[in-house]
Amino acid sequence: MAEQNRIARELENRETTQRVKQWTPPQGLPEPEPEAGYSFRWIRTAILGNFDPSNTSAKFREGWTPVKAEEQPQMYAYSDPNSKFKGNIEIGGLILCKIPEEFMKQREAYYNKATNDQIEAVDSSFMRQNDARMPLFNERKTEVSFGRGTK
């Protein structure tokens, strides 16, 4: 009978057959677990070590609410023990907040309208200088072209 070249079963386990782990740079901030109907954002509470109440109060008035540590238990280890927001998740002067997705859609629509109004105002101001003898072109079209490689 031919001798088989096999590894003993006790030496064959997941740890010995696993690839060597690769180093990866750390994430700046951990991602919260998604929650249906809500958007998450890190909001500044301090800048250069100084508390920033005007920014936090503006964001809270906008509809953002701080996320309690019980809602995202996997992130509790990252919390700052000296935080002014006890029971919430705060890391390095940023607090994790959430807002209903409906508010985010309304906010996006508001800023899209403001942007379009500004573009329209610039266009009308520009076209006011139009002269029939030398007409201005107001084309809102872009074109992407690729150069030819040299051989």
145 versus 35: which is more confidently predicted? 35
At residue 42, the pLDDT reads: 93
CA distance 50 to 94: 12
Rounded CA-CA distance 45/88 in Å is 12
40-87: per-residue pLDDT in tens?
Answer: 999 998 888 888 889 999 999 999 999 988 888 777 676 666 777 778
| pTM of this prediction exceeds 0.85 | no
Print burial letters for 81-117: b (CB count within 10 Å at least 16), e (below 16). Answer: eebebeebbbbebbbbbbbeeeeeeeeeeeeeeeeee
Q: What is the pLDDT of residue 64?
A: 93
For residues 113-134, average pLDDT: 80
At 74 the pLDDT is: 78
Give the model confidence (pLDDT) of 91-108 as tens digits: 888 899 999 999 999 999
Q: Does 109 have pLDDT greater than 80?
A: yes
Where along the chain do its domains lie? 37-100
Percent of the chain with pLDDT over 90: 28
DSSP 134: B
Say what the pLDDT of residue 120 is.
86
